[in-house]
Structure 1
């Protein structure tokens, strides 16, 4: 599979439901909305390191989406930039309900982009067939890093494989996009990997 071509094909299909928020300027948001226990300039290298870690361990870096202990990865022996992944994830429209999500993952270090292609079924780590939950459409996600070394931008976009654009789903995704804060996985990385305390400021 060419993961990036598969994503591009789905993104170009007018029947699908697409969502792409504006880029997040990590250091601008950090300066405006947080207090840190020591000075911090978040770098592009840090952001890419985070994206790689998150691809391998989504239950650690997006625990607000992935059920604790549910993530597994396999099929990375020959090419460590390409592997399969499963996890129990909250449904987009029903946050109290979890379903099995299967993804084929590709890391592109040269362009600092990660592509996740959703699958209805996959051979699991033991060879037994795994089947994804069916309560929501399959989706593909792309996470990427842009900007300068000391002014990194977090990019992401998602496309759901629908028969026609789902306006309500798009509105739901828009409401849940960071709400002016850093993405949760960036907060987790700063606290756990950089050992820097991070406090949200009351900007009201």
Structure 2
């Protein structure tokens, strides 16, 4: 890191800082309004996000979700021990039929066996937690094919992984 700092501070070098991106604005432009109900289960270390089609604000005005993508739901949890934590994600889009192209970005993320870059930045900058990567000889889990959970199965958390 010192090498970078020295180079950055050298007035003879060309440097450029890419401006930060307002992720919420970009997502709103691409997908429209996303309305989510979030449930945090601290005991089980599970965060559940259920998207809703509409939501009334404090004044009673009804806001409708954008149509840029199908309704989706996410269950995010951790498993394993303190020394061997596993980051688990279960994502379902409510589509008319399975759409394999929707899972391509998630399969790529699973193949890389890493968090998306924006999550790494958030964890380090906003939570103040230092992250480091280490090579593991442990085999990497391949994403399951054809895992599609219906909305009414989302309360079935203990067996989600086994059913995918």
TM-score norm. by structure 2 comes to: 0.56
What does residue 89 of structure 1 align with?
A: 27
CA distance in structure 1 between the partners assigned to 2:78 and 2:120 by the alignment: 13
What does residue 96 of structure 2 align with?
A: 163
CA distance in structure 1 between the partners assigned to 2:105 and 2:123 by the alignment: 26
Q: How does 1:142-157 map to 2 (within 5 A)?
A: 142-157=75-90
What does residue 116 of structure 1 align with?
A: 49
Match of 1:190 among 110, 124, 127: 124
What does residue 63 of structure 2 align with?
A: 130
Query: Structure 1 stretches of 5 or more lacking a match?
Result: 1-34, 36-62, 69-87, 91-95
What does residue 18 of structure 1 align with?
A: none
Q: Using a 3 Å threshold, how does the CA distance of structure 1 residues 126 and 66 change in structure 2: closer, same or farther? A: farther
Q: Using a 3 Å threshold, how does the CA distance of structure 1 residues 65 and 199 change in structure 2: closer, same or farther? A: farther
CA distance in structure 2 between the partners assigned to 1:182 and 1:138 by the alignment: 23
What does residue 20 of structure 1 align with?
A: none
Structure 1 residue 189 displacement after superposition: 1.4
Query: Structure 2 stretches of 5 or more lacking a match?
Result: 2-19, 135-164
Q: State the secondary structure of the residue aligned to 1:154.
A: strand
Instruction: Give the total of aligned pairs.
Output: 115
CA distance in structure 1 between the partners assigned to 2:68 and 2:126 by the alignment: 34
TM-score norm. by structure 1 comes to: 0.47
Structure having the higher strand fraction is 1
CA-to-aligned-CA distance 1:26-45 (integer Å, 9 cap, x gap): xxxxxxxxx9xxxxxxxxxx
Q: Which has the higher contact order (CA 8 A, sep 6+)?
A: 1
Structure 1 residue 105 displacement after superposition: 1.1
CA distance in structure 2 between the partners assigned to 1:126 and 1:176 by the alignment: 41
Match of 1:101 among 30, 34, 37: 34
Q: Give the greater-gyration-radius structure (CA).
A: 2
CA distance in structure 2 between the partners assigned to 1:144 and 1:64 by the alignment: 27
Q: State the secondary structure of the residue aligned to 2:32.
A: strand
CA-to-aligned-CA distance 1:22-62 (integer Å, 9 cap, x gap): xxxxxxxxxxxxx9xxxxxxxxxxxxxxxxxxxxxxxxxxx
CA distance in structure 2 between the partners assigned to 1:100 and 1:129 by the alignment: 12
